[in-house]
Structure 1
Amino acid sequence: MNLKSKEKVAIFWFRRDLRLHDNAGLYHALKSGYKVLPLFIFDRNILDHLENKQDARIVFIYNAVLEIQKELKKAGSDILVHFGFPAKIWKKLLTEYDIAEVYANNDYEAYAIDRDKEIGDLLAEKKITFKLFKDQVIFEKQEILSGQNTPYTVFTPYSRAWKAKCNEFFLSSYPTEKYYSSFLQESTAPIPTLKEMGFENTAANFPSAHVRTELLEKYEEQRNYPALPGTSRLGIHLRFGTVSIRDLARKAFETSDTWLNELIWRDFYQQILSNFPHVGRGKAFRPDYDNIKWRNNEKEFQLWCEGKTGYPLVDAGMHELNATGFMHNRVRMVTASFLIKHLLIDWRWGEAYFAEKLLDYDLASNNGGWQWAAGSGTDAAPYFRIFNPTAQAEKFDKKGEYIKKWVPELNSMNYPEPIVDHKMARERCLKVYKEALNKG
């Protein structure tokens, strides 16, 4: 065996935690007593399914990996980056390095759990321990339970219990910087280029990883108005771990209870995914809702995707999403409700479209949001709550600034008539839902 390193090493495997600062698994690896080899895998099990070869998320990840490499080089180290299938790559690594232990952070999605089990079994055959840590949430799995010792399925009591349990211990950062001397001091092979992996660099304009204190102080009053820059735009950074959730939660405690609640919603949906895994495998949280007779009109779905519904707020949201990979949260609720309730199209169709387009796509939150809109989820909007897109526009975009920006064709011959009448669609939806749910 021709080993690349003469000594036993610990490997830290980056996944959705693309930073050196305050990284739980990395901290434990650096304190293991072994020299640490950082690793990242561009996973073909995921990348091969991406049809858009200009997917900006891959560019974002790529840039984050380059940033990590830059920091590691300052510490005399490097990051090993592979493109391929994790199981094959790990088999190869086992022949190249004398691996003592492997460290990583938990991921709660079905694919990640299956992947980690496969790699864990492979390492166990060689008597190598695979250690996983909590990093992307403050509380995971069953750390917050009700008085009956069961997972919470309603947000408000969950958030109360979350706040009651949260203290300095859970919010303090892992001081990884103290232990940089534990990184393996050697260069690795060059990082594969985007082109070599079948992707193209894009000129995507990614939001900053820093959130201004002034924005958080006005967060509660401004966050519902899509024309204002009133939200943190940190979704993509939270999704790929280029920011620390502990740093953000500390800042939220100091500045904005409303923003803190948004961070707690992330934890809430992640623990729902862990405790009720069927939601991440295409099932409704409430099984009765799988009985709804969806219309699933493909032409109407296409018009929704393209922002040609004739409802300006819905169309503005879809244009913003298609152009930028972002949609304001208030508008996400309106567009989702419209697809599900006005058009009676299965929420899974919308969930999949958002998964393809959103830069900040996160399975737990995306699924949670779509099931909330459908009424089928945990702590969901009641099925009879049907957003009126016109009333929502009047309330949250009174001057029409957001709509004018994203639907410049409004008031012209090119703007379509509404594809469905609100009153008729509302009555039709209530009837279909009642029939499915035996409500009378």
Structure 2
Amino acid sequence: MNLLWIRKDFRICDNPALAAAMASGPTRALFISSPSQWQAHNLAPIQADFMQRSLNLMAQQLAALGVVTECCQVEHFTDIPSFLTEYCQRHQISNIYANTEPELNEVRRDKAVLSAGLPLRLFEGHCIMAPGTVYTQAGEMFKVFTPFRKQWLAKLASSFAAPLPAPAPIAPAVESSPIEFAYPLRDSQQWPIGEDHAQQALSDFVQHRLADYKNYRDMPALEQTSCLSPYLALGVLSPRQCLHQVLQHFPDALHQPDSGAFCWISELAWRDFYRHLLIAHPKLSMGHNFVAKADHIVWRNSDQDFQAWCAGETGYPLVDAAMRQLNQTGWMHNRLRMVVASFLTKHLLIDWRKGERYFSQQLIDADLAANNGGWQWAASTGCDAQPYFRIFNPVRQSERFDPDGSFIRKYCPELINLSAKNIHLPKPELRPIRYHKPMVEHSFARQRALDAFAVLGKS
């Protein structure tokens, strides 16, 4: 009997571990819930709910293929080798099939399983180009994104393979039992589950919005991004499936750098870049700055300021609207993630790790590689990050990307009656009594940040 060990790969199609397991004989599937480990990893309750719903649907799909799915609870990753040893003996498992994960604790967990003598076979399915396959002439991981992407694209041209189809049934259909996690859950019903939905959403995006993606992707009031990140984060959709669909509709996209399709493919390359970095630099999974000089930044770390930022009460309407979007929906537009991260780290001088943790605790699409990469980019502490002296002006960002204030009005209804001219930073006489005054003045905050971050410029 083969065992498919389900992790964050809740899909039947283009699942290398599942395909290999079912191709080699009778298979059963196992998901291991680890509530204490999840708590330590700041797993958002809304993502846990989305995960539980996705797992139940996948279990039903596997049941139709003749594969029984079981969910067992093991509190910590360190307890998994002994649990799997007993489980494999009980079910006479000859091989365990699983797809790799890039995070350090997950890598250590898999090494411990292998060290225990268990027959674990690992497959690459979470990146388009597997970690370790895109490297400099010196054989090292790139430290700058643009040359990484150039090499990534070159390798794609010679080695990109079409996604794997769904495996054929290996036995008559079996029953599927409901699965429940012993973990705090927050309703995720606004996000439909399943790879059929994810594939349809991908298709709609590619056919109707991708051509204009580069022009409109930064406008949060418009529904012009793919909104596929929750499905990619949990492996309901694979990045290879995404790229394949793009190239089906835009076959020349890889050679058209000014196109919307190429712009979105670059986002897939960024996703690979950050995941490759986690493998090459394990310290990133442990909350360390990528740039060593950043260890000398003196953060203010005001708890009062942090709570105001979390609640969307900074007095800067675009920042507040973005944080309220996060708190209300469990998701945030990508341009706004940059704006609020820059505000927290540069305007308030609060350690990026506090913001990264809060995002993890709230986001339905939380993903350590992307979350860490994005926060360190904004804080100028990361690999190929924005220069430390680049400090977003939240008012200019608002005027540029939400010019008529539509997004602000949606999440800050107390500002609904302000004009497009006045909504980006209401003057004291126009500011509604219920709306907070700005917690810090921009030019003062900018200079304070330049002073604090000057350590990054010293040789």
Q: Work out whether 1:105 is the aligned partner of 2:105.
A: no
Other-structure match for 1:171: 161
Other-structure match for 1:204: 189
Is contact 1:14-1:40 (8 Å) kept? yes
Other-structure match for 2:422: none
SS state at 1:166 partner: helix
Other-structure match for 1:422: 442
Is contact 1:82-1:191 (8 Å) kept? no
SS state at 2:131 partner: coil
Other-structure match for 2:257: none
**RMSD of aligned alpha carbons:** 2.1
**Percent of aligned positions that are identical:** 36
Q: Work out whether 1:269 is the aligned partner of 2:274.
A: yes
The alpha carbon displacement at 1:148 in A equals 2.2
Residue correspondence of structure 1 range 117-156 to structure 2 within 5 A = 117-122=111-116, 124=117, 128-156=118-146
Change (3 A) 1:87 1:188: farther
The alpha carbon displacement at 1:49 in A equals 4.3
Is contact 1:83-1:192 (8 Å) kept? no
Q: Work out whether 1:43 is the aligned partner of 2:63.
A: no
- Picking from 188, 193, 198, the partner of 2:180 is 193
Other-structure match for 2:228: 234
Q: Work out whether 1:321 is the aligned partner of 2:350.
A: no
The alpha carbon displacement at 1:186 in A equals 7.9
SS state at 1:316 partner: helix
Q: Work out whether 1:225 is the aligned partner of 2:214.
A: no
More displaced 10-residue stretch of structure 1: 202-211 or 342-351: 202-211
State the alpha-carbon separation in 2 of the partners of residues 186 and 81 from structure 1.
Answer: 19
Q: Partner amino acid for 2:266?
A: N
Alpha-carbon displacement from aligned partner over 1:306-326 (angstroms, at most 9, x marks no partner): 011000110011000000011
Is contact 1:384-1:430 (8 Å) kept? yes
SS state at 2:458 partner: coil
Is contact 1:80-1:191 (8 Å) kept? no
More displaced 10-residue stretch of structure 1: 361-370 or 411-420: 411-420
Q: Partner amino acid for 1:267?
A: D
Q: Partner amino acid for 1:66?
A: N
- Picking from 54, 65, 72, the partner of 2:62 is 72
More displaced 10-residue stretch of structure 1: 253-262 or 9-18: 253-262
Q: Partner amino acid for 2:11?
A: R
State the alpha-carbon separation in 2 of the partners of residues 170 and 205 from structure 1.
Answer: 34
Q: Partner amino acid for 1:138?
A: I
Q: Work out whether 1:413 is the aligned partner of 2:433.
A: yes
Change (3 A) 1:203 1:64: closer
State the alpha-carbon separation in 1 of the partners of residues 282 and 437 from structure 2.
Answer: 41
Runs of at least 5 residues in structure 2 that lack an aligned partner in the other structure = 251-260, 416-430
Is contact 2:380-2:387 (8 Å) kept? yes
Other-structure match for 2:350: 345
State the alpha-carbon separation in 2 of the partners of residues 382 and 173 from structure 1.
Answer: 38
The alpha carbon displacement at 1:188 in A equals 7.5
Change (3 A) 1:292 1:50: closer
Is contact 1:138-1:171 (8 Å) kept? no
Is contact 2:64-2:173 (8 Å) kept? no
More displaced 10-residue stretch of structure 1: 205-214 or 43-52: 43-52
Change (3 A) 1:50 1:273: closer
The alpha carbon displacement at 1:72 in A equals 2.1
More displaced 10-residue stretch of structure 1: 272-281 or 40-49: 40-49
Change (3 A) 1:45 1:167: farther
Change (3 A) 1:274 1:407: same
Change (3 A) 1:203 1:430: closer
- Picking from 383, 391, 394, the partner of 2:388 is 383
Is contact 2:17-2:123 (8 Å) kept? yes
Is contact 1:78-1:186 (8 Å) kept? no
State the alpha-carbon separation in 1 of the partners of residues 299 and 357 from structure 2.
Answer: 16
- Picking from 18, 21, 44, the partner of 1:29 is 21
Q: Work out whether 1:12 is the aligned partner of 2:1.
A: no
Other-structure match for 2:367: 362
More displaced 10-residue stretch of structure 1: 251-260 or 274-283: 251-260
- Name the count of aligned residue pairs: 420
SS state at 1:90 partner: helix
Change (3 A) 1:392 1:48: closer
Change (3 A) 1:108 1:137: same
The alpha carbon displacement at 1:47 in A equals 3.6
Runs of at least 5 residues in structure 1 that lack an aligned partner in the other structure = 1-8
Other-structure match for 1:180: 169
Q: Partner amino acid for 2:446?
A: R
Change (3 A) 1:168 1:204: farther
